[in-house]
Amino acid sequence: MLRWALAKILQTAAVLLIVSVASFSLLKLAPGDPVELMLGDDYSKESHQSLMVQLGLDRPMPEQYVDWLARFVRGDWGTSFVSRTPIFQYAFVEALPVTLTLSAAALGLALLIGVPLGVLSAVRKDTTWDAAAAAFSLTGSAFPSFYLGILLIWIFGVAFGLFPTMGFVAPWDDFWGGIYHLVLPAITLSTPFMALIVRITRANLVEVLEQPYIAAARARGEPAWRITWVHGMRNVLMPLATIVGLQLGALLHGAVLTETVFSLPGVGRMITDAVLNREYMVVQAGVMMTGCLVIFTNLAVDLSYPVLDPRLRPR
Amino acid sequence: MAINHKQILANSLAARFGRRRLLQGAGAAVAAAGLPTVASAAEGGHIKLAWIDFVDTLDPHFTSYLGAIKIHNNIYNGLLKVEYDGEKVSFVPDLAESWTLLDDKTHLFKLRKGVKFHDGEVCDAEAVKWSVERVWRGTPKSPHAWKYDYLESVEVIDPLTVKLNFKKPYAFLPVALTGSTGRAGTIVPRKAIEKYGKDFGRNPVGTGPFKFVSWKENDSIVLEKNPDYFEPGLPKLDRATFLIMKEASSAVAAMLAGRVDGMSNSPLQFINQLKANQSLVVHGEIEGNYSLMAMNCRRAPFDDVNVRRAVGFAIDREALIKQAFFGIGIQAYTPISPPMTGFFDKNIAKSGRGQFFDLEKAKAFRAKAKTQGAIEAVILTSEQGQYGTRVAQTIVPMLDKIGIKAKLELVERAAWISRRNAGDFHMLDMTWSADLDPDETIFPEWHTGNAWNFSGWSNTDFDKLVEQAQVVLDVKTRRDLYVKAEDILMDEAPMAILTHMPEFKILSKKVKGFKYTPADSLDLHTVSF
């Protein structure tokens, strides 16, 4: 078991290294000369040279990479030339918690509503309930999040004035204020995801409920809720965990649009702004952060399989 | 001797704004501002403004963005400021107590006593001298340095008196000192700038009614009341938050939902909806600006003056205003805008001057072009301002009628700016805005070799005329010079001129005491709830 986990962690480390090479190369592959862009109007041959030396761009590539990685691990991510603040502060301390909070809220909401809805439509297969859930999940996954976001703003923010339409309040500073501000963005971000969870839950549960051991449990006279939620759902957890892990990347890219529509100062907006301003060092930091996030979530999902399914425990 | 140059200058500049009126509802705000004694215990408070404009830096000498300058005006003061009484614009002393012209080239400013910067540094004649010199010939070079091209020296007479000596009479000075596109007369503290260096733009220190608190990336800029502000009783607000919002439709939603108290601007497609809302006041009228399609005179095909002339007459401005500007705005014939009364010709539409839509004329010029047959050209465009890429899109089929196959190249803004500055384009669409004087609307944009002459156009007769107009104080003589200069400019057509547009500012009716000035500013000095 331990050896298996260790192998998984080593695999992850290898993927991390590949991601780091990719984000490092961003600065090299980018069109134009980033140093020239950083200097802007202060451009001169001397300032160009001195910034090259300062950034270490005059040294051989492998050396630059090792140096960059070492500084990255230590939290020295350089200084943004637009905001003139340390990138670590901006990206990791300010922007990341916003995106994580938003994604966690969206994920929570998707599971909280998606799973029961999926269960409902599996248990009441081929009824009106099932058709309604299918309609919801199709509509939900077809709605682009920028459109849904603006629609929600107009309905719940403007017409009814129920929820704030913008801005981020940290739930750890003001819990209810934070939740209140998160309602619309979380719904926007979670809807396509929720729809997917409904479909996965339904498909898997329908299959499980036809298994002989379910019939046996029924024959034993076990209560319906126990059959569905204990015997049935236990077997749905695995595909569900896999989907959550795989879809995290989609959730993060949905966050870009959601953050723009709701004016949330998160990682998505940070990266899009940085791309537009040609702030390659910020883009690098953003790619590394989101890359690590996706990889670590997948590792967590991998490591959870043996816990969720005894058949997968390595002997 | 007997000529009062300052009076002539002030009158001439003021006259241009004589007949301007505020749009719907704005009158109420002005009336409220005129009754300061009615002010109640409800004063103070925290204003929240949705900021959809781009803010690059809070260093007033280094910006070219109006979105930034609208905030600067609340942090800094200048030697002079723009005042507007609902009828006409005047230029009055701000940090100065008095402004005197000793002769037509020498301006004497007596400063207010006891004014301090937010960090405690004294704002005296030395500070003024240092600030003026920072713009005039500092390193790095300020983009507004050209405004002091005629300056000879800055003299400190005593701690509260400073003298600006010019080489020639300089009609543009009041606007140079106050104009909202980068106020060259804004006074900044030396110590703070030496302390922060390049980071000053993120840590601004001024003498203004509000002190800088924070700038959180992609989130907000916060200012708080400066209790030591020199104008007694001002500011009235305790705090001002500028919420940086990228998505204009979200800002409009927040405005309609009452979540914010105002908006810095609004895309044209939302204006009618905002105007229809009873709880809002939309300020805005045609200001000193023009939109244009620039043509690169250094490159084929637009190095050929007849091709450029053909483009100038091929664009149907009426259709363009309908399709790209949602019917908001008026046709421009020349760069001088309607607010520049005394210079703007009200009968210009009938005068035959300038550029306008005349397909026959366009085809005639096209027939004279060196290259016959189809010409290919690329319009460099970027998702920008109030009209996005609509101007470029609308113009493409119009050019097709004169045998120019135009293609759109949509790039992101940073690339657009750097290619524009490098002259790496055939055509590009843009606007010049917030101009108060014909000089700033023509000179830096079209005089040979100037920083903003992106078309690379050069004409010595034009240069001579606009140089001359800078050193003449008499309005009539100046106007005649500008008419001649404009005629050359529009005939040679380094651009196709398109429209003059209103600039909008939206405030909630709860907001009292806002003084509108037609210079695209949003000053919060007198604002309260």
Q: Mutual orientation of helices A2-29 and A61-73 as an angle, nearest 10°?
A: 120
- A177-191, B66-80, B515-529: the lowest-pLDDT one: B515-529
Question: Do A165 and A114 belong to one domain?
Answer: yes
Q: Return the pLDDT at A146.
A: 82
How far is the alpha carbon of A93 from chain B, nearest alpha carbon, in Å? 12
Q: Return the pLDDT at B31.
A: 36
Ordered domains of chain B (ranges, CATH): 3-32+77-207 (3.90.76.10), 210-283 (3.40.190.10), 290-500 (3.10.105.10)
Write out chain B residues lying below 8 Å of A153, CB-based.
Answer: 249-250, 253
Percent of chain B, pLDDT > 70? 90
Distance CA(B13)–CA(A305), nearest Å, equals: 78
Mean predicted lDDT score pLDDT of chain B: 85
Question: Cβ contact (<8 Å) for A157 and B245?
Answer: no
**Residue A31 pLDDT level (bands cut at 50, 70, 90):** low
- Residue A176 burial (10 A CB sphere; 0-12, 13-18, 19+): exposed
Give the mean model confidence (pLDDT) for residues A282-298: 87
Three-state DSSP class for residue A10? helix
Which of A50, A74, A98 terminates a domain? The answer is A74
Distance CA(A199)–CA(A204), nearest Å, equals: 9
CB atoms within 10 A of CB A136: 18
pLDDT tens by residue, B238-269 = 999 999 987 888 888 889 888 899 999 888 88
Write out chain B residues lying below 8 Å of A86, CB-based.
Answer: none
Q: How many CA atoms lie within 13 A of B220 on its CB side?
A: 19
Question: Do A55 and A152 belong to one domain?
Answer: no
Write out chain A residues lying below 8 Å of B256, CB-based.
Answer: 158
Which of A25, A49, A74 terminates a domain? The answer is A74
CB atoms within 10 A of CB B163: 17
pLDDT tens by residue, A210-261 = 889 888 988 998 898 888 888 888 888 888 888 888 888 788 878 888 888 8
Chain B residue closest in CA terms to A38: B414
Q: Return the pLDDT at B4.
A: 52
- A29-33, B43-47, B49-53: the lowest-pLDDT one: A29-33
A54 at interface of B, judged by CB pairs closer than 8 A: no
In sequence order, which residues have a C-beta less than 8 Å from that of residue B311 and are 6 or more positions away? B293, B295, B302, B362, B399, B402, B404, B427, B493, B496
Q: Return the pLDDT at B285.
A: 80
Nearest CB neighbour to B254, from listed A166, A265, A270: A166
Give the mean model confidence (pLDDT) for residues B83-92: 75
Structure token digits, residue A172: 């750890």
Is residue A232 in some structural domain? yes
Question: Do A25 and A99 belong to one domain?
Answer: no
Three-state DSSP class for residue B285? coil
Is residue A261 in some structural domain? yes
Among A105, A196, A192, A110, residue whose Cα is nearest residue A146: A192
A46 at interface of B, judged by CB pairs closer than 8 A: no
A278 at interface of B, judged by CB pairs closer than 8 A: yes
Give the mean model confidence (pLDDT) for residues A27-49: 67
Is residue A7 in some structural domain? yes
Write out chain B residues lying below 8 Å of A275, CB-based.
Answer: 412
Chain A residue closest in CA terms to B203: A84
Write out chain A residues lying below 8 Å of B198, CB-based.
Answer: 84
Distance CA(B78)–CA(B453), nearest Å, equals: 27
Q: Return the pLDDT at B179.
A: 63
Question: Do A163 and A296 belong to one domain?
Answer: yes
Distance CA(B385)–CA(B387), nearest Å, equals: 6
Write out chain A residues lying below 8 Å of B259, CB-based.
Answer: 157, 164-166
A199 at interface of B, judged by CB pairs closer than 8 A: no
Structure token digits, residue B472: 């003449």
Q: Return the pLDDT at B287.
A: 85
Q: Return the pLDDT at B90.
A: 78
- B81-90, B196-205, B414-423: the lowest-pLDDT one: B81-90
Chain A residue closest in CA terms to B421: A41
A residues 59..88 contacting B (CB < 8 A):
83-85
Nearest CB neighbour to B257, from listed A37, A41, A157: A157
Q: Return the pLDDT at B316.
A: 95
Is residue A254 in some structural domain? yes
Chain A residue closest in CA terms to B416: A276
In sequence order, which residues have a C-beta less than 8 Å from that of residue B480 and are 6 or more positions away? none
Domain extent at residue A55 = 2-74
Give the mean model confidence (pLDDT) for residues B189-214: 92
pLDDT tens by residue, B377-386 = 999 998 876 6
Question: Do A69 and A104 belong to one domain?
Answer: no
Write out chain A residues lying below 8 Å of B263, CB-based.
Answer: none
H/E segment holding residue A200: helix A175-209
Task: Name the β-bridge partners of B223.
Answer: B212, B240
Q: Return the pLDDT at A42.
A: 56
A158 at interface of B, judged by CB pairs closer than 8 A: yes
Question: Cβ contact (<8 Å) for B418 and A37?
Answer: yes
How distant, in Å, are the alpha carbons of A151, B241, B472 from that of A178?
A: 21, 19, 61
Write out chain A residues lying below 8 Å of B254, CB-based.
Answer: 157, 165-166
How far is the alpha carbon of A198 from chain B, nearest alpha carbon, in Å? 30
A residues 97..136 contacting B (CB < 8 A):
none
- Specify the higher pLDDT residue, A36 or B26: A36
Question: Cβ contact (<8 Å) for A84 and B244?
Answer: no
Instruction: Say whether pLDDT at B25 is over 60.
Output: no
CA-angle at B281, arms to A261 and B51, nearest 5°: 35
CB atoms within 10 A of CB B152: 13
Residue B390 backbone phi and psi in degrees, to 5: -65, -35
CB atoms within 10 A of CB B448: 12
Structure token digits, residue B221: 């800029």
Question: Cβ contact (<8 Å) for B250 and A165?
Answer: yes
How far is the alpha carbon of B463 from chain A, nearest alpha carbon, in Å? 26
Q: Return the pLDDT at A32.
A: 60
Structure token digits, residue B36: 């300061």
Q: Count residue pairs from A and B with Cβ separation < 8 A.
A: 80
Give the mean model confidence (pLDDT) for residues B463-481: 90
Instruction: Say whether pLDDT at B13 is over 60.
Output: no
One-letter-per-residue 3-state SS of B49-113 = EEECCCCCCCCHHHCCCHHHHHHHHHHCCECEEEEECCCCEEEEECCEEEEEEEECCEEEEEECC
Nearest CB neighbour to A165, from listed B216, B257, B414: B257
Distance CA(B454)–CA(B444), nearest Å, equals: 10
pTM recorded for the entire structure: 0.79
Give the mean model confidence (pLDDT) for residues A122-145: 87
Give the mean model confidence (pLDDT) for residues B481-489: 95
Write out chain B residues lying below 8 Å of A93, CB-based.
Answer: none
ipTM: 0.72
Question: Do A68 and A185 belong to one domain?
Answer: no
Chain A residue closest in CA terms to B142: A41
Instruction: Say whether pLDDT at B224 is over 70.
Output: yes
Question: Cβ contact (<8 Å) for B253 and A278?
Answer: no
Give the mean model confidence (pLDDT) for residues A68-86: 83
Which of A42, A74, A106 terminates a domain? The answer is A74
Instruction: Say whether pLDDT at B35 is over 60.
Output: no
Q: How many CA atoms lie within 13 A of B369 on its CB side?
A: 27
- Residue A71 burial (10 A CB sphere; 0-12, 13-18, 19+): middle
Mean predicted lDDT score pLDDT of chain A: 85
Question: Cβ contact (<8 Å) for B143 and A273?
Answer: no
Question: Do A180 and A67 belong to one domain?
Answer: no
Instruction: Say whether pLDDT at A40 is over 80.
Output: no
Question: Do A182 and A288 belong to one domain?
Answer: yes
Distance CA(B234)–CA(B228), nearest Å, equals: 9
pLDDT tens by residue, B97-108 = 899 888 888 999
Is residue A82 in some structural domain? no
Nearest CB neighbour to B219, from listed A37, A84, A265: A265
Indicate the residue type of A162.
L
Please name the residue ranges forming H helices in A56-95.
61-73, 87-88
In sequence order, which residues have a C-beta less than 8 Å from that of residue A294 and are 6 or more positions away? A248, A249, A252
How distant, in Å, are the alpha carbons of A129, A189, B41, B187 from that of A140?
A: 16, 11, 50, 56
Give the mean model confidence (pLDDT) for residues B148-176: 89
Q: Return the pLDDT at B26.
A: 33
Write out chain A residues lying below 8 Å of B257, CB-based.
Answer: 157-158, 161, 165
Question: Do A292 and A182 belong to one domain?
Answer: yes
Q: Choose the mutation target among A43, A146, A153 for the interface with B, i.e. most B CBs under 10 Å.
A: A153
Under an 8 Å CB criterion, which residues of B touch A? 50, 140-141, 143, 198-199, 201-202, 215-219, 243-247, 249-251, 253-254, 256-259, 412-414, 418
Write out chain A residues lying below 8 Å of B218, CB-based.
Answer: 95, 265, 269-270, 273
Check if the beta carbon of residue B59 is closer than 8 Å to that of residue B201.
yes
- Specify the higher pLDDT residue, B271 or A49: B271
Provide the domain count of chain A: 2
Instruction: Say whether pLDDT at A26 is over 90.
Output: no
Q: Return the pLDDT at B30.
A: 35
Question: Do A68 and A97 belong to one domain?
Answer: no
How distant, in Å, are the alpha carbons of A4, B349, B435, B442 from that of B290?
A: 69, 16, 9, 11
Nearest CB neighbour to B250, from listed A84, A95, A262: A262
Question: Do A41 and A91 belong to one domain?
Answer: no
Question: Cβ contact (<8 Å) for A166 and B243?
Answer: yes
Is residue A166 in some structural domain? yes
Is residue A126 in some structural domain? yes
Q: Return the pLDDT at B29.
A: 36
Write out chain B residues lying below 8 Å of A167, CB-based.
Answer: 219, 243
Q: What is the CATH number of the domain that holds A237?
A: 1.10.3720.10
Among B453, B456, B437, B457, residue whose Cα is nearest residue B445: B453
Instruction: Say whether pLDDT at B49 is over 90.
Output: yes
How far is the alpha carbon of B445 from chain A, nearest alpha carbon, in Å? 19
Distance CA(A258)–CA(B250), nearest Å, equals: 11
How far is the alpha carbon of B313 from chain A, nearest alpha carbon, in Å? 35
Is residue A9 in some structural domain? yes
Question: Cβ contact (<8 Å) for B140 and A161?
Answer: no
Structure token digits, residue A281: 């060092």
Residue B187 backbone phi and psi in degrees, to 5: -100, 130
Question: Do A53 and A108 belong to one domain?
Answer: no
Instruction: Say whether pLDDT at B33 is over 70.
Output: no
Give the mean model confidence (pLDDT) for residues B391-410: 93
How far is the alpha carbon of A148 from chain B, nearest alpha carbon, in Å? 12
Write out chain B residues lying below 8 Å of A164, CB-based.
Answer: 259
Instruction: Say whether pLDDT at B21 is over 60.
Output: no
